[in-house]
Structure 1
Amino acid sequence: MSQPMADAPVTESERLSFSVFAPDDAALLAGLHSDPEGERYLFRDGMVWSEAYATSEIAKWRQTFADKGYSKFKLTRNSDGAFLGRAGFGFEETHGVAELGYTIIRAEWGKGYATEAAARLARWFFEEDLDDRFIAFAVPENTASVAVLRKIGMREIAPLTIKGIVCTSFEMVAAR
């Protein structure tokens, strides 16, 4: 699959655009993952992302998009192009399946962006026929994220242990 043009949306929802991260987005991504409050549920052990680390993650995500047709996407607001975070799919190697995830900048929490992003991505994943199912998980204390996954219609499955932490886990299966 070829890379879309820089900032060209892969998909959109009412308020959001999803595009493949460009290499020059590293500062935005590092900033997103440098807020300790926003990072507390992301299994990074307090790690703050450097631009170099963000650059390496962007390269991996771009390769995942080329290989699998999905990725962790740059999330921007349609009305003004403001960067809101990231949302999309990674490949969860332990379970061999796509995994939905999202991180919204703290200043934009509580505005429904995570729910809108997760719902649009779920529909897009099956519209594009990327696979028959995907999973998502959250630490139980992250009640907002667990609520988003339930709200978009994901079905709770047996807990998964990720990096030694037992997570509330969900799956969504294509309607065939």
Structure 2
Amino acid sequence: MAFPIPETVVTESARLSFSVFKPEDAVALSILHSDPEGERYLFRDGMLWSPDYAAGEITKWRKTFAERGYSKFKLIRKSDGAFIGRAGFGFDETHDVAELGYSIARAEWGKGYATEAAAHLARWFFETELASRFIAFAVPENQASVAVLRKIGMREIAPLSVKGIVCTAFELTNAVQRLK
């Protein structure tokens, strides 16, 4: 099944709008992923994103949306139109499942945006019937991210090895989501 890539907002939460990244968003995305503090848990061995690298990721994410109906989305704060990060789903080929991930600009940490984005996307994912489950993972040292995943109702599953790092892994199914 093919999914047309929308040119406007895909979904909205109370404070955030979620849209598919466009090629012209590469610079903003590279800035987000050029903060060493923000990148320390993202499995990139200290690599910061150049605009060219970000453009390549955007191309992949747009392809994922066209094929699967989900993607890593651009997060815009509705109150002022500011780009504050990304959140959404990629396809984990190793485990044949959608994988939730997010990255919030450091200046926006501690304001509940990661939890709001993750909870909203979980509901959206199941409401649009994209699949019956998804996973997420975080390095154990990233306690803030682990807390977000627990807060949205994900259940811990067996640890996953990601690029040689053992991660705390979580799963959410539509059956669990319906109980909320």
TM-score, normalised via structure 1 length? 0.98
| Deviation, structure 1 residue 3 | 1.1
**3-state SS of paired residue (1:49):** coil
Q: Which amino acid aligns with 1:35?
A: D
CA distance in 1, matches of 2:167, 2:93: 16
Residue aligning to 2:59: 59
Query: For residues 97 and 64 of structure 1, what CA distance do their matches in structure 2 show?
Result: 12
2:5 corresponds to: 3
Which amino acid in the other structure matches residue 139 of structure 1? Answer: V
Tell me what 1:30 maps to: 30
Question: 1:9, CA displacement in angstroms?
Answer: 1.0
Residue number in structure 2 paired with 1:163: 163
1:67: how far off?
0.2
Q: What does residue 104 of structure 2 align with?
A: 104
Following superposition, the deviation at residue 113 of structure 1 comes to 0.1
Distance 1:98 1:13 in 2: 21
TM-score (norm: length of structure 2) = 0.96
Instruction: State the identity %.
Output: 76
> SS in structure 2 opposite 1:9?
coil
In structure 1, distance between residues paired with 2:49 and 2:162: 20
Structure 1: how far apart are the matches of 2:93 and 2:45? 20
- Structure 1 runs not aligned, ≥5 long: none
**C-alpha RMSD of the superposition:** 0.6
Tell me which amino acid in the other structure corresponds to 2:149. Answer: L
Distance 1:48 1:114 in 2: 21
Q: Deviations over 1:96-146 (max 9, x none)?
A: 100000000000000000000000000000000000000000000000000
Secondary structure at the residue paired with 1:136?
Answer: strand
Match of 2:145 in 1: 145
- C-alpha offsets along residues 10-63 of structure 1, whole Å, 9 cap, x if unaligned? 010000000000100000000000000000000000001110000000000000
C-alpha distance in structure 1 between counterparts of 2:36 and 2:147, whole Å? 21
Q: How many residues align?
A: 174
